Chains A and B, each alone.
Chain A
Amino acid sequence: MARIDRIAEPWGTRTPYASGGEWPVRVDTHLAEGVAAEDVDRWVQTASLLHSNGDAMDIAVKDNRIVGVRGRASDRVNHGRLGPKDLYGWQANASPDRLTKPLIREGGKLVETDWDTAMQRILDRSKALLAEQGPSALGFYTTGQLFSEEYYTLGTLAHGGIGTNHVDGNTRLCTATAGEALKESFGCDGQPGSYTDVDYADVIALYGHNVAETQTVLWTRMLDRLAGPNPPKIICVDPRMTPVAKAATVHLAPRPGTNVALMNGILHEIITNGWVDQEYIQAHTVGFSELEKEAKNYPPALVAQICGVPAEQIQEAAGIIGHAERLLSTVLQGFYQSNQATAAAVQVNNVNIIRGMLGKPGCGILQMNGQPTAENTRECGADGDLAAFRNWSNDAHVQDLARVWNIDPMAIPHYSPPTHVMQMMRYAEDGSIRMLWVSGTNPAVSLPELARIRSILEQDRLFLVVQDIFLSETAQLADVVLPAATWGEKTGTFTNVDRTVHLSEKAVDPPGEAKPDLEIFIDYAHRMGLQDKDGQPLIKWHDPESAFEAWKECTRGRPCDYTGITYDKLRGGSGIQWPCNEENPDGTERIYADGKFWAHPEYCETYGRDLITGAPVEPKEYKALNPEGKAIIKAAEYMPPHELPSQDFPLQLITGRTLYQFHTRTKTGRAPELQAAAPDVWVELSADDAGAYGIAEGDLAEVETPRGSVRAKVRISGIRNGVLFLPFHYGYWDTDGGHQPDGAGRAANELTITGWDAASKQPIFKTAAARITRVAGGDGPSPAPTTTASAPAGDFPDDARTRGIATALADEATETAGGER
């Protein structure tokens, strides 16, 4: 057992292993000061809710309080390891400023009240709006951080009970493109890869995926492969000098917004050099000739010009990918939140498809998620899709869902695609959405162009309900605030990016009168009198396990089949990968192993969209194109970003997430070790640009776009010339402004453009034209971490490097203290 500062060393100690070997166990533990493992009353099983990796862990409980966490050695995802957010983030649960009572707006102010009064207010407004306008007046905007049982209940009550089409989750901001890219290529959501592909791959290509910060434990697995015999080659596409870029064999740093051109360049090389699996293409795909035609237009010399990347580097990367024997491709926000998100992510799928690298150990695609339960938002229909990957434009699927819910198919809105959150904001702006119920998310900081978002949410004519655990920036604007329970205070299941389902059990009671989200949704449904066609309550479940059983029935026979999973099966041991049913009682490690896809016209989740215009493909067209349900190779031309640098705004701004904070810091900002590691906003620029603008490390600078300005201290980092980076975590709840800037802006989204990918509807956070000016000199380096992509480019004082506060020491055990795997 060793003690280690996991702020200074976010990935912990190496446990090297060879290709095809078993990743060694390393159990990470962090307990409150003065608590030893022997003092703990009980360990309660759960998984991480502060990132999307799905790290399994146990919560330590003493005297009915959470006192720490320990990784679960037996779990397939993390083999005992935890990331910094897991090790320290649990402390936020016990923050003194948790919401403990419902609040209602009286005379312009939020005041405490009881549950009956708060719910009655929501009920009165819901009923009045339904009577006056109908379901189109009501919208629900949820998160990627609730549990399956809760999403399924919300989806059922909104789609099947209220009958509104306006349902989405903040997964729209992080993972919508992952889902859409999988739907476009394979006819259905569902991750082809498995984390164990890392154990076998000889090439890992990471596209806009700074895994070292977003999924620290997955990166730990890759680092352990890199430290072992026969390490994989790494290809990194990222405009920043991330830890992944530093470890890469080839690092491509394209100009923001040009990913499709880059991918087409790589595909050009792969196709013209014949590094394709013709047999696989013939047997299992449609559309290859279109890709051949499109890729022809992107020779490396041209792509080099568009992307600002040397042609030789593109050729070198393509050569490594083209010669890979076991290719793992992963994708995240650098593609999803950028120009032409879906088109770019689909080209990554195409690389694996045309190389025949799917469904075998080491051959996979991970279209990553940004949030811990994003997969469930998508599966359960809380992102607006129909539950269990049913196809809204297939009448048989709608009828089948109506059968499950015992309602009339006409009651389920399916006349057009679901309303995504940016469109919901537009409807709230034009006054046609008049009640918005926000659960577990903070749009007043996380949506683009915040001045506009605030002006929409502040309207008197919009009735805003916020269900959260803290008084977030958004909650401060609400008409009714409902205090919710969180991780460790309620029970439910959730699923990570490689389809691993975990049970998260209640460890302690929620504070005050706070309630689990599931209870709140069920209470609303019952108070509203939502019924099925026989006059029975629409929501027929009453607690997490009965909700899970109902959800299982909804998934029967669908790709995300949960019918073989029970709470008991998830207790102890490891998480289980869906589909898990009678044929696959232990779950399924790799889907598409036999070159069979869920793309058959009668079975698929969608008929797809035009990657450029977003126009839905008609059922007839799809059937003609893909009658047998093969993988669909979709080509796309490069289109320049909607906002290009100009004389006034000569730079490009990208925003993003970083290692120590999560989203708008509602939890991580209240964990002392994490908050100290990244206490305030910073802006990154390159040494060349810093020289050109006369800016030094630590100077206070103003970043402006046509939409607003933000002041931040400067970090001179290894970022591409001409590009600025701002982390998006820093809003206003811990400033005098409360929910908005008090003077200078701090939230990156003051600056971002309102615009989204036409296919996935994911907002574009990474291609705004911007400028930077020095405001004042600094009194030392900027608060940016030095351990991550924001590492300083030049000389840097040792004593200013990122390290943990006294309580940051965590335990690491490479023997099997937490149990055998």
Chain B
Amino acid sequence: MKFGLVLEEMHRSENDLAHHLLVISERHKVDHEIYHLARDLARWSQQHVREIADIAGNYGQDLDPEPRGEMGLMETVREKGSEMVGRRPETGMLLLRDLRELYLKACGVSADWELLAQAAQGMKDKNLLALAERCHPQTIRQMKWANGKLKESATQVLVS
């Protein structure tokens, strides 16, 4: 069954989203709402990773329940870097680029949840469907957050 591949991709894309949120958080430490919220929202994806790994065994997949780790040194370097360039206008463009990428990644994860939910219905697998129903709304909220922040930040960055 090709379904194992869906789980594997889901696991990868949630891990990737969590990682991107953490990178954005560190890179924009001086944009405090981005810094704090991105970390909060990364936790959702990390929890999704755990839950996907938990259920994957039922489908013959062995996926790591631990979300992809962060490198301590790089984190600090990015945060310091953020503080150093935080007073320069170019950081605004970088923020827009990061938010745009985040939005696209979250859209991708959202599409993955759609696939998983469709498969769950085909297999009449209630646990799997419940997982999708629990996690997918959070993905959509991550998406809307990225989109909202993008809209909110764009004018000042682009027209100043």
Contacts and interface: CB of A to CB of B under 8 A. Distances in A.
B155 A610 contact: no
Interface stretch (A50-58, A301-309, A415-423): A415-423
A429 B37 contact: no
Interface residues of A, number: 29
B99 to A, nearest CB: 12
Given A136-B155, A432-B92, A426 B37 contact: no
Interface in A405-422: 415-417, 419, 422
A457 B109 CA distance: 42
Contact of B152 (A416, A430, A610): A416
- Most chain-A CB neighbours within 10 Å: which of B40, B156, B159? B156
A1 to B, nearest CB: 55
A765 interface: no
Nearest to B144: A615
A415 B155 contact: yes
A165 B155 CA distance: 10
B32 A754 contact: yes
B152 to A, nearest CB: 5
B160 to A, nearest CB: 4
A758 interface: yes
A639 interface: yes
Interface in B114-160: 141-142, 144-145, 147-149, 151-152, 154-157, 159-160
Contact of A134 (B39, B89, B144, B159): B159
Nearest to B31: A426
Interface string B7-19: 0000000000000
A136 B148 contact: no
Contacts of B30: 426, 429
A613 B156 contact: no
B131 to A, nearest CB: 16
A427 interface: yes
A611 to B, nearest CB: 10
Contacts of B87: 429-431
A430 B91 contact: yes
B41 interface: yes
A708 interface: no
B37 A758 contact: yes
Contact of B145 (A165, A615, A754): A615
Nearest to B36: A642
Given A134-B159, A416-B152, A615 B92 contact: no
Nearest to A754: B32
A718 to B, nearest CB: 32
A133 interface: yes
A530 interface: no
A107 to B, nearest CB: 25
Contact of B160 (A133, A422, A616, A756): A133
Contact of B36 (A419, A610, A755): A755
B41 A615 contact: no
B93 to A, nearest CB: 11
B32 A756 contact: yes
Contacts of A431: 87-89
Contacts of A92: none
Contacts of A416: 151-152, 154-155
A755 B32 contact: yes
Point out which of A430, A432, A754 has the most chain B C-beta atoms below 10 A from its C-beta. Answer: A430
Given A165-B155, A613-B144, A756-B32, A430 B89 contact: yes
B37 A137 contact: no
Given A134-B159, A432-B156, A612 B141 contact: yes
A186 B20 CA distance: 36
Interface string B64-92: 00000000000000000000001111011
Given A426-B31, A432-B160, A755-B32, A614 B89 contact: no
A422 B32 CA distance: 9
Nearest to A136: B160
B32 A615 contact: no
Contacts of B152: 416-417
B33 A758 contact: yes
A500 to B, nearest CB: 35
Contacts of B92: 430, 432
Most buried by B among A165, A416, A615: A615
Contact of B41 (A133, A137, A429, A613): A613
Nearest to A756: B33
A614 B156 contact: no
Contacts of B154: 416
B18 to A, nearest CB: 15
Contact of B156 (A136, A422, A610, A642): A136
Interface centre among B31, B88, B155, B160 (most CB of A within 10 A): B160
Contacts of B155: 136, 165, 415-416
B106 to A, nearest CB: 11
Interface in A614-646: 614-616, 639, 642
Contacts of B142: 613
Contact of A616 (B41, B88, B148, B156): B148
Contacts of B89: 430-432
Nearest to B159: A136
A429 B33 contact: no
10 contacts: A134-B160, A416-B151, A416-B152, A430-B92, A610-B144, A613-B141, A615-B141, A615-B148, A755-B33, A758-B33
Given A426-B32, A430-B92, A615-B147, 6 more contacts: A136-B155, A165-B155, A415-B155, A429-B30, A612-B40, A756-B32
Shortest beta-carbon contacts, A-B, top 4: A615-B148, A432-B160, A613-B145, A615-B144
